[in-house]
Amino acid sequence: MLTAAVQSNFNEKNVDPKDIKRFNKQAKEWWDPKGVQHGLHAMNYMRVPWVLEGLKETNYISKDATNLEGCLILDAGCGGGIYGLAKLGAKVIGLDCARELLDVAQNHLNTQHDIKDKVTYVCETIEEHCLKNENKYDAIVCSEVIEHIIDKNSFLEACIKTLKPGGSIFMTTISRTFAAWFLYKFMGE
């Protein structure tokens, strides 16, 4: 049973519309590793192994695993599709509300023949997605997303609904310091 908070977000987006507009404006630059999203590109060197190691630590995958073969991962708030989990063999569903970013993600994916069949992009909120995908994912990643969410409890509840029992959620966000805010929100976005 979903709470009233989650149900209320089916009819409205749970993401700040100003953020969606701003990210859509940045869509053409999303895959430029020296562009406005250079920080996200740089963090993949840490984030991708973090998910692999995290799933090993919870015994969700073998301690000897060197890839994510057989794992179904939801990238909630995937933006332009930078997170590289499909490169490790995972099947990835990228979820975002910013249609133009998903178009950029799909266009880039079309050039990646080694992972093209491992990634699917969907334009909807997590609250909408959880209705059709309960207990589906081995892991969920939400990287630099939660700070753009209006109702964080609704977002987290919907994420948990889509997670298989024993699965893991991997969340990253910026530090709540002035320096981090200035660098990420003002300079980075």
What confidence score (pLDDT) does residue 151 get?
92
Q: Is the pLDDT of residue 134 over 60?
A: yes
Across 7-29, average pLDDT: 64
Annotated domain spans of the chain: 4-188
Which position has the higher pLDDT, 22 or 2?
A: 22
What's the confidence (pLDDT) of residue 142? 92
- SS3 category, 13: coil
- The DSSP letter of residue 149 is B
Confidence of residue 117 (pLDDT cuts 50, 70, 90): very high
Could you tell me if 109 and 119 are in contact, meaning their C-beta atoms sit under 8 angstroms apart?
Answer: yes
> What is the C-alpha separation between 144 and 155, in angstroms, rounded?
14
Topology of domain 4-188, CATH: Rossmann fold (3.40.50)
pLDDT above 70: residue 12: no
Question: Over the stretch 151-184, which tens digit does the pLDDT of each residue have?
Answer: 999 999 999 999 999 999 999 887 566 655 555 5
Q: Give per-residue pLDDT as tens, 31-50.
A: 666 766 656 656 666 778 88
Q: What's residue 175's pLDDT?
A: 57
Q: What is the pLDDT of residues 48-106, one digit of tens each?
A: 888 899 999 999 999 999 999 999 999 999 888 766 899 999 999 999 988 888 998 89
Place of tokens 């192994």: 49
Q: Any alpha helices (H) in the chain, and if so which ranges? A: 4-8, 17-25, 38-57, 99-109, 126-132, 152-162, 178-181
Q: What is the pLDDT, as a whole number, of residue 110? A: 93
Q: Report the chain's mean pLDDT, rounded to a whole number.
A: 81
pLDDT at 43 (0 to 100): 67
Contacts of 159 (CB under 8 A, 6+ apart): 74, 76, 126, 130, 140, 142, 169
Helix count and strand count (H, E) for the chain: 7, 5
